[in-house]
Amino acid sequence: METAPLLHNYALAYAFGFVASPYFHERQAPLYDHHLQPLNESGVYLYPAIAKQTTYRLMQYNTTTELFSMQREQSLGFPNWGLSNV
């Protein structure tokens, strides 16, 4: 099922500042349950939203670490799918 037109509740929680996430993640793994736990404990649920007007394109990109040193390590190279506003 294509859900691209929706603004999902997890994304809205981060965007509105209800939950915070560090800029750098050492592991390429989401921590939604940890980040959203205070919001869940307070009984707050954000419903997904639909934008009034938007355009998007589906694209694939590979992840690499963002280390600020000159060493080169093996990337996990997980493919990620993301939306880019046009």
What per-residue confidence (pLDDT) applies to 12? Answer: 93
What per-residue confidence (pLDDT) applies to 23? Answer: 78
Chain centroid offset of residue 54 CA:
18
- Which tens digit of pLDDT belongs to each residue from 8-58? 999 999 999 998 887 777 777 888 899 999 999 999 999 999 888 877 777
CA distances from 86 to 6, 78, 83 (A): 16, 24, 9
CB distance 69 to 24 below 8 Å: no
What is the torsional sign of CA 86, 45, 2, 35? positive
pTM greater than the 0.75 cutoff: no
Neighbouring C-beta atoms of residue 13, cutoff 10 Å: 21
- Torsion angle in degrees (nearest 10) through CA of 31, 37, 43, 47: -10
Q: Is the pLDDT of residue 7 over 50?
A: yes
